[in-house]
Chains A and B, each alone.
Chain A
């Protein structure tokens, strides 16, 4: 019979996060509870906490990059990215989303966060995609607008997640290094960043095909059932 008590921490994290408690508090509680269950003295838990926190300071070295990024934003980094995307007025939905995805991936790989749902998708990418779809097929049904907006939101996540690990100083890679290091496994940041590349490329291709598929399906729907929908909208 396996002793299940060591798993108490996982239960605490799952329940605590589901109840929307502060993440740091949940993690701390889970860690302390796990230590107590394993008969580690409180003082030793405190020491272990401090030791690991100190050992893993390098995970937070991204803080040193913040003044540079802040200054670039002050002088219009995001606005420059908007210009680059906004300059393609006659593009299709797929082209707009894929350009954004590419730009997002490249800048993310340099450690720059130019995107975000509030700052790029809502004011720029979603309206541009909607306008492009509207141009291709006037009287766009509300349901289809919703799909295009949701797809725009998805493009941000795909761009963001699958290119993050390309940057050598990113928190994700540093965390992997830390967890491996705790187990006496030495991993190099450069090697890991390189192995993040195949998934970055494939996710771009997958999202491209998917976007094409969705937009073709939307257009097909429109051409077969145009009359009822256009009256419905009035």
Chain B
């Protein structure tokens, strides 16, 4: 069943790809079109192709992204004035389709044996239909607007899957074991609190260095979180994972490496000190980190 949801996603990507190829306003329409085409194919045929073929396709996606072959096109979207007008008519009804997704996902995962991921897929498609009914819009518009969003995300759309692949290779190569033994050297005692602090602070520091909590998560969780907390102390993987990620976000608040969140806004707001936003965020960020550590230590074991 889940495979159908992937194929639906793949078909949507193929539609984006076709539109990209035909979009004369996108100076890089071939690159954009190819990127969504290849990506869509990995969704539709991923389970049927030999893995190395998918691996080659991943290399092609990287080449298209790193070579700067992707661009922005024309999506025939509405102007600010038109949007204001329709917002005044539709009011809070605009939020209704958005509620369909989380509500539908929870309902399907609780009441049927399909699971949350299939629930998410079905609810997403239902939400598109609800949105079309409420706004009385044409289905074609939803494709164009969806492509507008995916083009603005660009190659970052596949970042999560990429980081997961990195984590997988790290696992195969035993990176986690190396990190774990280094951390164990630094923590001679078998104290749980020290390990929790090492994991959460490790997530924060690594995110500061890498500028990306997702990248830090794959490394630090396989290196510290899983061996030292989940396996050694039979900790709850869901709680540890979530609070680890949230500790990483505390790091995002404190690093110029996360330029989009911290440095670009400073420029946008014409601040004289380009680190003003970061300075503002350090103290509350550390408070939230402390709370995460406390919460994990109290409830995950």
Contact = CB atoms under 8 A, between A and B. Distances in A.
Contact of B252 (A112, A161, A187): A161
Contact of A46 (B55, B65, B78): B55
Given A23-B159, A161-B249, A196-B246, A207 B284 contact: yes
B242 to A, nearest CB: 5
A67 B143 contact: yes
Interface in B44-93: 46-47, 49-59, 61-62, 65-66, 77-78, 80, 82-88, 90-92
Interface string B21-50: 000000000000000000000110011011
B88 to A, nearest CB: 8
A141 to B, nearest CB: 13
B105 A168 contact: yes
A216 interface: no
B218 A48 contact: no
B179 A7 contact: yes
B120 interface: yes
Contact of A52 (B61, B95, B164): B164
Contact of B52 (A4, A47, A67): A47
A153 B259 CA distance: 13
A50 B51 CA distance: 5
A22 B51 CA distance: 24
B42 A154 contact: no
A23 B56 CA distance: 18
A193 to B, nearest CB: 8
B238 A50 contact: no
B252 A68 contact: no
Overall SS of chain B's interface: helix
A18 B88 CA distance: 46
A122 B244 CA distance: 31
A178 to B, nearest CB: 4
Contacts of B244: 176
A115 to B, nearest CB: 11
Interface string A56-79: 111111011111111111111111
Interface stretch (A30-38, A88-96, A222-230): A30-38
B9 A74 contact: no
Given A56-B164, A64-B121, A67-B12, A78 B269 contact: no
Interface string B145-162: 111111000011111111
Given A7-B175, A54-B51, A110 B98 contact: yes
Interface in A171-186: 171-180, 182-183, 185-186
B301 interface: no
A48 B168 contact: yes
B164 A59 contact: yes
A186 B116 CA distance: 13
Contacts of A180: 221, 226, 237, 241
A210 B243 contact: no
A3 interface: yes
Given A50-B52, A109-B102, A171 B242 contact: no
Interface in B108-149: 109-110, 116-117, 120-121, 124-125, 127-128, 130-132, 135, 137, 141-149
Contact of A126 (B57, B171, B253, B269): B269
B12 A63 contact: yes
A51 interface: yes
Contacts of A195: 238-239, 242-243
A179 B52 CA distance: 21
Interface in B168-196: 168-175, 177-179, 181-182, 185
30 contacts: A6-B173, A24-B155, A25-B62, A27-B163, A31-B169, A45-B55, A48-B168, A50-B52, A53-B162, A56-B160, A65-B101, A65-B124, A67-B143, A70-B148, A71-B137, A74-B137, A74-B145, A75-B78, A75-B94, A77-B94, A110-B98, A117-B269, A122-B268, A146-B273, A150-B271, A154-B280, A156-B265, A168-B116, A183-B171, A199-B243
Given A49-B58, A59-B164, 6 more contacts: A69-B146, A157-B262, A158-B284, A164-B249, A187-B241, A190-B110
